Amino acid sequence: MAGMPFERSTLFLIALAAVLPLIAGGALLWRRFYHDDPNNTARRVLKNSAVPLALRMFVRALDMAFFVILQRTLPGAQIGPYDLATLYVGQYLATIAEFGLGVLLTREAARDPAAARRLFGVTLAMRLLLVVLASAPAAFLLISGYGLLGSLGYGEPISPIGQAAIWVLLLTLLPSAYSGAVTALYNANERMEIPALVEVATGVLGLVARLAALWLGFGVIGLAWASVLVTTLTAGLFLVLQIRDFYPPTLVWNTPQMRQISVIALPLMLNNLLNAVFFRFDILIIKAFGGGQGDLLVNQYSVPYKVLGIAMILPPVVTFAVFPLLSRRAGGDRVAMAQAQNGTLRLLLLVGFPLAAAISVLAADLIWLVNGRNTAQFLPISADVLAILAWFLPFSFVNGLLQYVLIALNRQTSITRAFLIGAFFNLGANLIFVPRYGLYAAAIITILSEIVLLAVFLPILRRDGLLPPLVALAWRPLVGALAMSAAMLGAHWLAGWPAAVLVAAPIYAGVLWILGAIGPEERRLLRRVLGRG
């Protein structure tokens, strides 16, 4: 393919081939020497978060490497239709097909392991039925809706390539439905490292398949077919693992139970769907009001989210690690549940604030790193958007955990009301301000939407006696992050981004130590993890 950085991609694949044996060796050593201690909750939670986090960081690094190659190979206007297709199918339609059944299966199987096999069969049948019935009509509505807007002069229709990408990507939903069901089984059994290892294997395969599609000149349609191949192989690998570790998959058709599960799962699906609405619905509005440049604007706005995607690995990994524990404690021991909740919030905020500060300071450098010689069409707009969006991370980290605390308490309907309020605010604000102020408005509204959601969550938690002391948990990380960002700005002005990166961690850790953020409780937790207390 003309302009394709073939040599750079080949060198990257060689480096990847050198790294993979190290990962395989680490996995073997882990299986040989690590053993769970049923009485050491701290170590188990750390294992269920740290191991998947490390592996998914590697997978996300693979995705980012491919994204950099893609951004440096094709113009943004050609990538925009694929960004829109992956968002719509991978986030909205996948959320509808998932229907909250993964979280429900994890919660119920963690509480009652004897019911896991029956629930797996019922929920898998429901997942597959939803994919078959909902995906194609939803895709047709989206394509027709943009065509109607274009004919009325309010926007531009989805390009033929974008439409084709949507139809191809629909084929990923069936194998993904099965993979999600098996993942829920592993989560319920607190074996999160297994799905994470599967992600590593399929992430490597996906990288090779997508690079091959680009090398052969198949463009974004080739990328969509590569996704179909990878999701199908992932489902096959999960099939082998499920037979080895649990039982062969079965489909259970039980209409009364399906109806009962639907009532319980519907709020969970609506929560996830509404969360997606106020998190990324602005992309659809940007496309509709792009003024003839919708595809380019979609890509300019998607680039910051791709950068932030690495940071966004942390909340779901940590949350799913602690979710089975929260589910078991929700039935009675609220003091222990509050301790688990607040300790996890402390960790998320200790990471979230410095991440936001560092990304904000280095926004222009990160955009240049991603786009290379194509950077001119992304500056300053994508860098400014990234610097703004970075500050939604701490709020998103907190809301991500509190949502699952409420799920553990069986408060799905309360979450639905909260997400309805957040989604209406986000949708209304974007419709008012995005046509006039563009991507900057969309970025600011994303932060405000997280604040609105948090404001709705807190009274619900107060009624259950689980109101988190957010000010006490947040002020030290915030002060440390602000001091760190000031030092980074000075170092960046004097010696560029490498100096800014070097000073970040020492300054942040030093300020935290001075403020007493690393105290006796943190040291006790470390001793428990190491098995010394």
Tokens of 367: 């955009």
- Asked if 101 contacts 70 with a C-beta cutoff of 8 angstroms, the reply is no
451-455: Cβ within 8 A, 24+ apart = 451/395, 452/421, 452/422, 452/425, 453/278, 453/395, 453/399, 453/418, 453/419, 453/421, 453/422, 454/395, 454/398, 454/399, 454/402
Is the whole model's pTM more than 0.85, yes or no?
A: no
Residue 497: inside a domain: no
Residue 499: inside a domain: no
DSSP 8-state symbol, 281: H
Q: Count the Cβ atoms, other than its own, within 10 Å of residue 519.
A: 10
Cα separation values, 194 from 158, 374, 506, Å? 39, 38, 34
Q: What is the residue-wise DSSP string for 193-252? A: HHHHHHHHHHHHHHHHHHHHHHHTT-HHHHHHHHHHHHHHHHHHHHHHHHHHHT------
Residue 430: inside a domain: yes
Tokens of 437: 């102020």
Amino acid (1-letter code) at residue 132: V
> pLDDT tens string for the chain (533 positions)?
444 444 455 555 555 554 555 555 555 555 555 555 555 554 555 555 556 666 666 777 777 777 777 777 777 677 778 888 888 888 788 888 888 888 788 878 877 788 888 888 888 898 888 888 888 888 888 888 877 777 776 667 788 888 899 999 999 999 999 998 898 888 888 777 788 788 888 888 888 888 888 888 888 888 899 999 999 999 999 999 999 888 888 888 888 888 888 887 777 777 777 766 666 777 778 877 766 676 778 878 888 888 887 777 777 666 766 766 676 676 666 777 788 788 888 888 988 999 999 999 999 998 888 877 777 778 888 899 999 999 999 998 898 888 888 877 877 778 778 888 888 898 889 889 988 888 899 899 999 999 998 999 999 888 888 888 889 889 999 999 999 999 999 999 988 888 998 998 899 989 888 888 766 665 555 454 444 44
Residue 239: inside a domain: yes
Position 354 scores a pLDDT of 92
Structural domain for 310, as ranges: 6-468
Amino acid (1-letter code) at residue 184: A
Residue 510: inside a domain: no
Tokens of 58: 């590697």
Tokens of 228: 């179909």
CA–CA gap between residue 340 and residue 253 (Å, rounded): 37
Q: What is the residue-wise DSSP string for 370-423? A: HHGGGGGGGTTHHHHHHHHHGGGHHHHHHHHHHHHHHHHTT-HHHHHHHHHHHH
Q: What is the residue-wise DSSP string for 439-465? A: HHHHHHHHHHHHHHHHHHHHHHHHHTT
CA–CA gap between residue 300 and residue 80 (Å, rounded): 8
Residue 253: inside a domain: yes
Tracing tokens 């919708």 back to the chain, one arrives at: 294
Alpha-carbon torsion (126, 128, 129, 130), positive or negative: positive
Using CB atoms within 10 Å of the CB of residue 365, give its burial: 0 to 12 exposed, 13 to 18 middle, 19+ buried: middle
Q: How many residues does the chain have?
A: 533
Tokens of 106: 């994890």
Q: How many domains does the chain have?
A: 1
Residue 46: inside a domain: yes
Residue 66: inside a domain: yes
